[in-house]
Amino acid sequence: MEGTSETDADILWEDVVAALQDSDLPAATIAMLQSCSATKLEGDTLLVSCASRFVQRTLGRLSQQLDDAASAVAFEPVHVEVQVTRDEVAQRRSRERAVAPEPPRAPQPAPAPEPRPSARKNPLLEDITPVDSLLTFDRFVEGPQNKFALDAAKQVANGNRNYNPLFIYGKSGLGKTHLLRAIQNYIAQNDPERTCVYRVATDFIDDYSRAMKNARAGAAEALAENYHSIDVLIVDDVQLMSTAAGTIGFFYDTFNYLVGHGKQIVLAADRTPSELGMGQSRFDERVTSRLDSGMTVSVQVPDYELKLQLIDAFYERMRADAREQHVPGMDAHISEDLRRVMAERAGTNIRVIEGYVQSCLMLAFQREALGSAITEEDIVGVAEQKWPTGQRRVTVEQIQEAVEHSYGIDHAGLVGSRRNKELMEPRHVAIWLTRELTDNTLADIGKHFGNRTHATVKHSIHVIEVGMRDDRMLQDRVARIRDSVLE
């Protein structure tokens, strides 16, 4: 390939991208390839320029696939090397414009507005770590329990501001953080001009606390300015702000500013907006009503079908990553029948399920190294380590405590005689859960709830059974309380 020109490099790269468009690469990756430019062809190496280290790192994982595509197009071995070389590209483009014939002079348009300052100048904007960069929409396993949240997250990532704020809630380990990071990764890859900042609530608290300590130096004003310049603000684990009154005030002002100026806010918590204001929380109704003013969606615990989908996805992904990255001990075989056993034995925390699959794969590799295969007994043994079957006996007191914590009420209110709305629902829920999780008779249950009659206990059970059929939020809340008792 000696003596080739830069124009040949451009043509070769365009053919490589066109070839890869017919592959199974995600649309976001294709967009990243299209954003790159060929700089030169030196011997058997095609030098390609990209605009950021993130793009360079991401495409670096596709090195073999890029080389194969380039070699197939060129009919001889070609190695593709991706570099961050904006200046060289700019100079080449400038030379091309200099030798190009001058087009007919046209009326001069009005001066374009000055470009906005680079998002990188905002100190709140941090590099996405390699681990977090893997949390994409393509790697999110969809099921009925998370479909609404996934669809809403995709809409927000694509700039739909009808979902503002987007509030995602659900117990820990169900994929909320994955969705938030997927929004961030999608914007970083496909719309980098939008300033998208991800913060955990504790980071938000730290930002505010440091600014207040340096208020005389103008730190508070600088922090507000930094947050006001964000296009998409993502805050995870919002419930962790519940006791930080000053931070909540700053958050509320930031929220109003961003929404008022057409900016997007995405929030996640382990409870609904209205539940954030219960108990000793400093979230008042003014704040919780604003949090609930947009699209509020839940992620729920996975059923058997979704757990099987998750296990299959983790299994295939871990084996593929092991082969690609030459990681020993993970490229083993687990049959479909055994993966169904894994789904039957798995709990509901998706993060734990992922670790479960990893443990089973490592054990399967060990068995294969000894000339045997992993068995159902092995699978059950690993499951019992992750989710012990000898669960503690559930008591009425444990159920009552969990309900009181969830609703932010005291024990006297739960078992007392007052019949106001704020107490009736948690009382019904506690009675229903006691019936579900213990062996107490209806009469025994009544004794634990202020000596209520058999008929009153039956009425509470009926209220919750009917309510959960019609009210998705009630169903989700009862499930979360139940899981907290059983954990």
> What is the per-residue pLDDT across 53-101, written as a single tens digit (0 to 9) for each?
777 777 887 888 888 888 888 888 888 988 876 444 444 444 444 433 3
- Strands 45-50, 37-42: pairing is antiparallel
Look up tokens 């007191």; give the residue: 397
CA-closest candidate to residue 433, choices 472, 407, 394: 394
Tokens of 177: 């953080």
3-state secondary structure (DSSP) of residue 295? strand
Predicted confidence (pLDDT) per residue in 89-135, tens digit: 444 444 444 433 344 344 344 444 444 444 446 888 888 988 899 99
Query: For the packed helices 421-437 and 396-407, what is the interaxial angle rounded to 10 degrees?
Result: 150
Look up tokens 């949240």; give the residue: 149
Q: Is the dihedral of CA 29, 31, 32, 36 positive or negative?
A: positive
Residue 3 has a pLDDT of 44
pTM of the model: 0.64
Q: Where are the domains of the chain?
A: 6-94, 130-298, 304-386, 396-486
Residue 151 has a pLDDT of 94
Residue 300 has φ and ψ, to the nearest 5°, of -110, 170
3-state secondary structure (DSSP) of residue 380? helix
Tokens of 149: 């949240």
Residue 307 has a pLDDT of 93
CA-closest candidate to residue 149, choices 161, 158, 140, 159: 140
Residue 229 has a pLDDT of 93
Q: Which residues pair with 38 in a beta bridge?
A: 48
Residue 390 has a pLDDT of 52
Instruction: Name the percent of the chain lying above pLDDT 70.
Output: 89
Helices (H) and strands (E) in the chain, counts: 23, 8
3-state secondary structure (DSSP) of residue 117? coil
CA-closest candidate to residue 52, choices 84, 22, 24: 84
Q: Which residues of the chain have pLDDT under 50?
A: 2-5, 86-120
Architecture of domain 396-486: Orthogonal Bundle (1.10)
State which fold the 6-94 domain adopts. Answer: GMP Synthetase; Chain A, domain 3 (3.30.300)
Report yes or no: 193 and 51 within 8 Å, Cβ to Cβ: no
* b/e 218-241 (16+ beta carbons within 10 angstroms → b): ebbeebbebbebbbbbbbbbbebb
Residue 480 has a pLDDT of 85
Architecture of domain 130-298: 3-Layer(aba) Sandwich (3.40)
Q: Which residues contact 432 (CB under 8 A, 6 or more apart)?
A: 460, 461, 464, 465, 478
